[in-house]
Amino acid sequence: MEILGLLDTLESLILDGFKIPLTKKTLVNEEQILSIIDKLRLVAQGGEDFARSAIGKEKLLSNRPAENLAAAPAQEDQSEKGESTVVLEQAYQIAKEVRSGADKYADEVLSNLELTTTRVLRTVQAGRDRLQKTVQGTENVSAR
């Protein structure tokens, strides 16, 4: 089944995509994913023979000689650089948000720890005061 092969290819593209640290997001090549989706549509609509012929034509076009590829406009390089800059900016923004969230969480934990230790300290001080009063009371009684 051609569909299963295309689904396997789609899955491998997603699994091989760039994982954004500290998130569950993955960057994938949009062109490749959309191409596979188009092939899936062809298989679903026209049957395997129709899709094989369409996929075969696409492979022939993608295996063009290097001189044809050299004629591609330089705008593609610029757009790729622009996209990579955008991706980096997004990654830095996500990292900044994660760091901010971690700082807030650490502040909450330390605040709770401070409150707990303050309560424990008050309890210990109250116990010592009570013990001192008891010791002073027994000293006064035994001094009589």
Q: In this model, does residue 49 exceed pLDDT 70?
A: no
pLDDT, position 65: 47
Helical (H) or strand (E) element with 37: helix 30-62
Helices 30-62 and 2-15 cross at an angle (nearest 10°) of 120
Mean pLDDT over the full length of the chain: 79
Q: Which of 30, 64, 58, 29 has its CA nearest to residue 42?
A: 58
pLDDT tens for 11-43 read 888 888 888 888 888 898 888 889 888 888 888
Asked if 50 contacts 39 with a C-beta cutoff of 8 angstroms, the reply is no
